[in-house]
Amino acid sequence: MALGIICATKTEATPFIEKLVGGTTEHAALIDVHEGEFAGVHVVLACCGVGKTNAAMVSQMLIDRYGVDVLVNSGTAGGMDPSLDLFDIVVGSTFCHHDVDAQMVLVDSYPYYPGGVFDADPALIDAARAASEGFAAPVRFGAMVSGEQFIDDECRGDVIARHDPLAVDMESAAMAQTCFANGVAFVSVRGITDTAEHDGFGNYEINSTKASAIACDFTASLLKALAIRS
């Protein structure tokens, strides 16, 4: 198993880099790619940058250049379900683009995806469920959606009406689509930084460091659970 971890921002990646043991760093395609041991597992770690283009590009690079066949996305997200609170963990079970006409772009156009929703890998979900038992923060499993915008009250209702997701971000659906096309196992772990009650980019900035650290801790628990099952 060759395991990759991708974070979108430096804030999300820093807890991993601080805990990475040994290894090397390579600069490729404008980003730093770190190899080392995290949670007792050899990993390839990259910070891809914000947005779906960056996410897809770096996912493909880790698959092609580093032979990654399991990819975990860790970071932060906005809470869409009203039951979510700040710093809860959301593990994505399905992923889709909220800003793409999936039927036209994905299903009816080459290379003809079977649908516009991409599933997390069942073995990674099983490991995440095991990791959630006794974890310090609440852990929820469900739909995640991605788009090239920060979601606040102005557009929250439209995204909920069309997709009813647990959480929203700017990268995970692109990573899930890339992994689907390459036959690579994928899951996303996100700490909640903002909700309908705690809305706005200001809350994201205030809460992103803590939410990123919690997501990193949960990712470590997930990898330990996965190693036990391997």
Q: What is the pLDDT of residues 22-40, one digit of tens each?
A: 889 999 899 999 999 999 9
Strand 41-47 to 139-146 pairing: unpaired
DSSP 187: E
pLDDT value for 122: 98
Confidence of residue 230 (pLDDT cuts 50, 70, 90): low
Confidence of residue 202 (pLDDT cuts 50, 70, 90): confident
pLDDT value for 198: 81
pLDDT value for 89: 98
pLDDT value for 193: 96
Rounded Cα distance between 60 and 64, Å, is 6
Confidence of residue 153 (pLDDT cuts 50, 70, 90): low
Q: What is the pLDDT of residues 75-94, one digit of tens each?
A: 999 999 999 999 999 999 99
Residue found under tokens 């689509």: 177
pLDDT value for 156: 81
Structure tokens at 88: 């809860």
Rounded Cα distance between 18 and 217, Å, is 12
Rounded Cα distance between 178 and 22, Å, is 29
Assigned CATH topology for domain 3-229: Rossmann fold (3.40.50)
Confidence of residue 159 (pLDDT cuts 50, 70, 90): confident
Active site residues: 12, 194
Rounded Cα distance between 96 and 119, Å, is 9
Mean pLDDT of 175-188: 98
pLDDT value for 161: 85
Mean pLDDT of 116-122: 98
pLDDT value for 162: 87
Amino acid residing at 69:
D
Mean pLDDT of 205-214: 97
Rounded Cα distance between 82 and 116, Å, is 25
Confidence of residue 68 (pLDDT cuts 50, 70, 90): very high
pLDDT value for 59: 98
pLDDT value for 145: 96
